[in-house]
Amino acid sequence: MSRSEESEGQAGQGRGGLSLGLDGRFELLPDVRLPRLDSPHAEAYEARDLREPDRPHFALVCRRELLPRVDILERVSRIDRGSMIKPRQWGVVDWHPAGGRRFAIVFEEPGGGRVFGGSLGEFAPMSLENIRRSVIAPLVPLLQELSERGITHRAIRPDNLFYTDESRSKVVLGESVSAPPGLAQKAVFETIENGMAEPSGRGPGYPPDDLYAFGVLLVVLLTGEIPCADMTDQEIVAAKLKRGSYSALCGKARIPLAMLEPLRGLLCDDSSERWTTGDLKSWLGGRQLTPKLPALPPKATRPFRFAGTEYLDARSLAYALGNDWPNAGPSLYNGKIADWMLRSLGNEPRAQLIGNTMRRRQYASAEDGGSDDRTISRVLMALDPEAPLRYKGLAVNIEGLGAALAANYQKPEKVQLFVEMLKGRLPLAWFDAQLASRPELLSVKKLIEQACSFATRARAGFGIERCLYQLNPQWPCQSPLLAQEYVCYVKDLLSALERIAGRGMPSEEPVDRHIAAFCAARTRQVPERLLNNLAAESATVRHMAMLQLLADVQKRTGPARLPALTRWYASLLAPAIDGYRNRPYRKQLADEITRLVEQGELGLLSVLFDNPAAVRADEQGFAVARAQYRQAANRISWLEQGGLSGPDNVLRASRQAASMVSAVLSGLMLVVLTVFYAM
């Protein structure tokens, strides 16, 4: 179905429906679906460029639970080659079909359809000449440019290839930014290491990973079928480990002689030996290169038996142990594995590392329930250092740890595995187990060290939530409060809370564990005191800490006015006003709050409530007032009991009064007599 037909087919529902602006230039039509342009993890909708309405565009609306590759969008959009569907615009939109905000990316639509629809019956093998001209020639420069820009595509597969036009003379690579890298890739298109990892935890990888996928793509185009299509991912990886990728994928296929050389080069399992784009260009130019032989792991002199299978190399054994976690422990604890490593494989350093790990397990306390699992994980690292980090059936590449945590965050049982993994500092053990130092991983190591530290602290602002945001700088805040929002950056947080407060005063507190961790991870300068107070038992202390946290965010990122959020806080902090004894001061505070709510500045509200001098003055004033009250009560009691009008007091007072009256009269008499005798 052509684009126009598709659009018209839904025009009755779509035209005149809600259209959404994205940065003012593009208009998204939520009612006009374009299923043929769907990505595996994002639905396609029609989009219009308001400046150039004749150029067809489509938008991919990303799933909320998957992280788009926001970090490379800008760089990908600047790629000059016309061999890739480029993102034109992206951002968060109010996506009413999903009842909330979603991340959407607008792409320019390719002129032709998909090269490979996914159904084997519909696809015929391409000729060698056609592949050279319309696939290799345009895509190799693209891969080179991606590599030079430090970007990996990680979605090179047949169903992500499009023809540029109806003539079908040239192909373009589809998008790779709507989901985590490598998520939609089948294991067959991934290197051995990436194939071992959970799809969401493969990480961005490196340019050789794209070249490997490109090699598999060429095999598919040449043969018209996906290699190992009848095998599970686990079987594919096992086959690659056993025979090498080239043999496993091309063993039964009829590969043209001219393609043997590039395919051997591209499917080389040693990434340092794998063909580069330069090699491919040379090959295209007719230069002959030394054929690569499959680099198989060293074989043992004696096999290691596990679960009825005999293994002759450490990588295959590690992979099998990792896939059968419950049985891995008993096979490892007998200590034979270190002996096998030493005697059969002759790898003394690794044997020593395994021996040390086993000894550490013996010293671990009986209460430490996770010790056995950590031991297995460490032994697997020693057996196959290049493999992903494995723990209780979960396997993730170290760079994909954050993305995997994010993708699995809605699965509590998986999250628990990540918590145990980080608390046990297994990712750091993975770095220690590497054969050579890897400078490219230094920044990742630093982040993971922080995450391991945060995972051990349970307070708000730390824990697994902090790890989630620390390891995924673009991951939106997962607070239930923000379920209808999409807040990736801290600058958007307050606007989102303002919208929520504007819709009606929610019963929840404005800062939960997620928002606290999100702010702490994004701003990096949240004082410990505030985070401690977020977990305080006293609601007033807790709310004050929340207010100060968000006031700090407002000060850093704006917006300047947040009247609804300020009102929300004012209502939460109402009990704090009642904490003051002095009622006129309370009224004064209430009036001041009303004024500040209009002003919408959280910082001022924070200063108003966080006033220890006023609290102290109020307490002192109250103590004085209570003393005055008691004093007055005592005086009243004394008076009512005849303290002043009692006989004794009256007698004493009357005597004094008599003396005084007498003195006054005497004085008058003296004056009169003086006047009388003077005359």
* 3-class state of residue 103 by DSSP: strand
Q: Which of 299, 630, 678, 679 binds another protein (CB under 8 A)?
A: 630
Phi then psi for residue 478, to 5 deg, are: -95, 15
Could you give the string, one character per residue 633-662, with x where binding to another protein holds by CB under 8 A and - elsewhere? x-xx--xx-xxxx---xxx-xxxxxxx-xx
Using the rule CB under 8 A, give the single segment among 193-201, 240-248, 378-386, 618-626 that binds another protein.
618-626
Using the rule CB under 8 A, give the single segment among 170-178, 271-279, 346-354, 627-635 that binds another protein.
627-635
- DSSP one-letter code for 84: B
Q: Which of 575, 588, 590, 620 binds another protein (CB under 8 A)?
A: 575
Min dist. Cβ of residue 619 to another protein (A): 6
Min dist. Cβ of residue 38 to another protein (A): 57
Min dist. Cβ of residue 651 to another protein (A): 6
Applying CB under 8 A, does 611 fall inside the site for another protein? no
Using the rule CB under 8 A, give the single segment among 182-190, 209-217, 466-474, 619-627 that binds another protein.
619-627
Partners of 396 in the beta sheet?
389
| Cβ nearer to another protein, comparing 561 with 586 | 586
Q: Which of residues 338-367 bind another protein (CB under 8 A)?
A: none
* Four-CA torsion 659, 664, 667, 671, nearest 10 degrees: -160
| Cβ nearer to another protein, comparing 149 with 635 | 635
* Four-CA torsion 566, 572, 573, 575, nearest 10 degrees: 150
Min dist. Cβ of residue 533 to another protein (A): 16
Candidates 75, 177, 81, 206; CA nearest to 137 is 81
Applying CB under 8 A, does 663 fall inside the site for another protein? yes
Applying CB under 8 A, does 284 fall inside the site for another protein? no
| Cβ nearer to another protein, comparing 508 with 619 | 619
Min dist. Cβ of residue 516 to another protein (A): 24
How far CA 150 is from CA of 207, 430, 545, in Å, comes to 8, 24, 41
Min dist. Cβ of residue 205 to another protein (A): 57
Using the rule CB under 8 A, give the single segment among 184-192, 256-264, 416-424, 669-677 that binds another protein.
669-677
- Whether omega for the bond prior to residue 199 falls within 30 degrees of 0, making it cis, is no
Distance of CA 302 to the CA centre of its chain: 45
| Cβ nearer to another protein, comparing 483 with 632 | 632
What is the size of the binding site for another protein (CB under 8 A)? 45
Q: Which of 119, 677, 678, 679 binds another protein (CB under 8 A)?
A: 677
| Cβ nearer to another protein, comparing 1 with 636 | 636
Could you give the string, one character per residue 501-540, with x where binding to another protein holds by CB under 8 A and - elsewhere? ---------------------------------------x
Q: Which of 13, 127, 232, 666 binds another protein (CB under 8 A)?
A: 666
Query: What is the C-alpha separation between 44 and 61, in angstroms, rounded?
Result: 6
Report strand pairing: 100-108 vs 87-95.
antiparallel
Q: E strands within 531-626?
A: none
At 535, the amino acid letter reads A
Report strand pairing: 389-391 vs 309-311.
unpaired
Q: Which of residues 576-605 bind another protein (CB under 8 A)?
A: 578-579, 581-584
Q: Are 573 and 538 in contact (CB under 8 A)?
A: no
Encode 23-78 in three state secondary structure: CCCEEEEEEEECHHHCECCEEEEEEEECCCCCCCEEEEEECCCCCCCHHHHHHHHC
Using the rule CB under 8 A, give the single segment among 179-187, 301-309, 503-511, 625-633 that binds another protein.
625-633
Helix, strand, coil: what percent of the chain each, to 5? 55, 10, 35
How far CA 225 is from CA of 105, 160, 174, in Å, comes to 31, 15, 19
Sign of the dihedral through C-alpha 132, 138, 139, 140: positive
Applying CB under 8 A, does 632 fall inside the site for another protein? yes
Min dist. Cβ of residue 551 to another protein (A): 22
Q: Which of residues 40-59 bind another protein (CB under 8 A)?
A: none
Q: Which of residues 537-556 bind another protein (CB under 8 A)?
A: 540
Non-local (6+) Cβ contacts of 586 within 8 A are: 577, 578, 580
Query: What is the C-alpha separation between 248 and 258, in angstroms, rounded?
Result: 19
| Cβ nearer to another protein, comparing 442 with 539 | 539
- Which residues in this chain contact another protein in the complex, by CB under 8 A? 540, 575, 578-579, 581-584, 619, 621-622, 625-626, 628-630, 632-633, 635-636, 639-640, 642-645, 649-651, 653-659, 661-663, 665-666, 669-670, 673, 677
